[in-house]
Amino acid sequence: MDLEVTVNGQIRADVPAGPHTSLLDWLRLQGLTAAKEGCAEGECGACAVLVARPDGEGRTRWTAVNACLPPAAALDGQEIVTAEGLGTAPGACRAQDLHPVQREMAERGGSQCGYCTPGFVCSMAAEYYRPDRRAGAAAGASGTSAVGHAADDETGPNGFDLHALSGNLCRCTGYRPIRDAAFALHGPEAGDPLAERQGRPAPAVRSTDLADATGRFVRPADLAELLERLGADPEALIVAGATDTGVERNIRHARPPLVLAVDRLPELRGLEVTEERIEIGAALTLSEVERALGGRVPLLAQLFPQFASRLIRNTATLGGNLGTGSPIGDSAPALLALDASLVLTGATGEREVPLAEYFTGYRTTVRRPGEIIRAVRLPLPLAPATAFYKIAKRRFDDISSVAVAFALTTGDDGEVSAVRIGLGGVAATPVRARATEDALVGRPWTEETARSAAAVMAGEGTPMDDHRASSRYRSAMLEQSLLRFFAQTALEVAR
């Protein structure tokens, strides 16, 4: 079949694409060269474009994504806007033809060499059109931005959250004028075509089957078809946001024979809250989960801003992050501390597996051939004291050297009645700090207890030396994280 994507308002159905052609390459083949390949790993944002996504209420949300990671086939039947399509006239070069975001970037000196500018413009435009941005301005004035960050110099008086640009890198260090441009933007004016487009539904998802000599890309119509195809070919690659597999394709030239896309399957995109649990669909993006929960799970609210960048969170999923079995996936430590379990679905039925029993070795799990992760379940009630600490070389958008999550409950007598500690980056798999938990339960939550348990914490896992950190450093960070958690919880109690 042929690929059909609406790009900048025009249906493009005559541009060839293979199952492994990236969206970025497919756009550039058409002469839409504003989006650039900077890193090919989703870390620089030079390739960012806007995609029309459903907002959950029958309307459209313009969402910025990295074009270098998803295959073009994943956007079959969808709608995209590139930096070229933001202006009011095709190929516009006059100031009066520029989109407000483009105009502010130009007038305030936000573009220097220009290589990163189109990506910044697209990410900035997504925030410009965020439906609750003006409400976010009022919320920011009272202490918290609309997406859960403390109100500070990263949230402008116009409600613009600079975290929306966290995945965009400027190599000329022109961040101050870019910030000025972002904070100068007001709401969309009457007649803005992209704002008006938001009032209509996003394109419906359609089945896709695209093949050539290099492989095959299939988007099944429903879960039943997915399981049937997976049963016939258990080695097929399951792809949601392609934030991991896109890197494998770009950097390691991986070309799996069969790719099965699950990111838009409705059976994997629910979010349900009952008195006993919260169930999160494995194919919901992290940004969608963040908005849907609205801070209901404080530990996840701490995790999300530290998980890669907004560009990545707009496509990455919990199912994908756990499905890779990586020991440094940031979601696993937090979910371990929350006592999460996974719903695994296959042709023979469903089963629920505690996340603490899911990982069996380096990038290996208990998932059987033909099984997928359908949902993540969090038992309720939640522990009252939680924290997530990510130790990395950069504050944002970096791979963890160590990730630690705490969930602690104390009784009326001040003793620790329950505690769960999830660790990442210190063993071949994400692990629970069982020895440390045992050292805490039944003891008073005091500085003496915390220091004693922190000494135990330093020996958890099997930290190794690698290019991100030494074994000694990782052990020290484990110890310090528990002391930090105690200091923070003690401060909260004092308040």
Does residue 202 sit within a domain?
no
The closest alpha carbon to 426, from 405, 450, 402, 399, belongs to 402
- So what's the pLDDT on residue 89? 44
Residues 51 and 177 grouped into a single domain:
yes
- So what's the pLDDT on residue 466? 84
Domain end (from 382, 400, 429):
382
* CATH number of the domain enclosing 55: 3.10.20.30
Full residue range of the structural domain in which residue 466 is found? 384-495
- So what's the pLDDT on residue 142? 36
Does residue 167 sit within a domain?
yes
Does residue 203 sit within a domain?
no
Residues 170, 344: Cα–Cα separation, whole Å: 41
- For the entire predicted model, the pTM comes to 0.93
Q: What are phi and psi of 338, to 5 degrees?
A: -85, 5
Copy the structure tokens of residue 299. Answer: 């530990």
CA 363 to mean position of chain CA atoms: 20
Task: Tell me whether residue 134 is exposed, middle or buried, using C-beta atoms within 10 angstroms of its C-beta: 0 to 12, 13 to 18, 19 or more.
Answer: middle
Q: Is 325's pLDDT higher than 80?
A: yes
Residues 3, 396: Cα–Cα separation, whole Å: 35
Least confident of 13-22, 89-98, 405-414: 89-98
Q: Is 93's pLDDT higher than 70?
A: no
- So what's the pLDDT on residue 493? 55
**Sign of the alpha-carbon torsion through 202, 282, 63, 4:** negative
* CATH number of the domain enclosing 248: 3.30.43.10
Q: How many alpha carbons lie under 13 Å from residue 58 in its C-beta half-sphere?
A: 0
Question: Is 62 or 142 the better-scoring residue by pLDDT?
Answer: 62
Domain end (from 197, 218, 246):
197
8 A C-beta contact, residue 166 and residue 396: yes
What would the mean pLDDT of 69-84 be, rounded to a whole number?
97
Q: Is 395's pLDDT higher than 80?
A: no
Residue 105: in which H helix or E strand, if any? helix 100-107
Mean pLDDT score across all residues of the chain: 92
Residues 471, 331: Cα–Cα separation, whole Å: 22
Q: Is 97's pLDDT higher than 70?
A: yes
What would the mean pLDDT of 53-67 be, rounded to a whole number?
96
- So what's the pLDDT on residue 467? 82
Q: Is 137's pLDDT higher than 60?
A: no
pLDDT bin (cut points 50, 70, 90) of residue 495 is low
Does residue 182 sit within a domain?
yes
**Number of domains the chain contains:** 4
- So what's the pLDDT on residue 23? 98
State the CB neighbour count (10 A cutoff) for residue 373. 27
Residues 16 and 52 grouped into a single domain:
yes
Q: What are phi and psi of 101, to 5 degrees?
A: -65, -45
Residues 240 and 273 grouped into a single domain:
no
Residues 144 and 185 grouped into a single domain:
yes
DSSP secondary structure string for all residues of 269-306:
--EEE-SSEEEEETTSBHHHHHHHHTTSSHHHHHHGGG
Residues 232 and 136 grouped into a single domain:
no
- So what's the pLDDT on residue 202? 97
Residues 40 and 75 grouped into a single domain:
yes
Residues 166 and 54 grouped into a single domain:
yes
Least confident of 41-45, 153-157, 162-166, 276-280: 153-157
Question: Is 147 or 431 the better-scoring residue by pLDDT?
Answer: 431
* CATH number of the domain enclosing 491: 3.30.390.50
Q: Is 19's pLDDT higher than 80?
A: yes
Does residue 420 sit within a domain?
yes
Residues 463 and 419 grouped into a single domain:
yes
Residues 269 and 192 grouped into a single domain:
no
Q: Is 95's pLDDT higher than 70?
A: no
Could you report the per-residue pLDDT of 453-492, keeping only the tens digit for each?
999 999 999 887 888 899 999 999 999 999 999 999 987 6
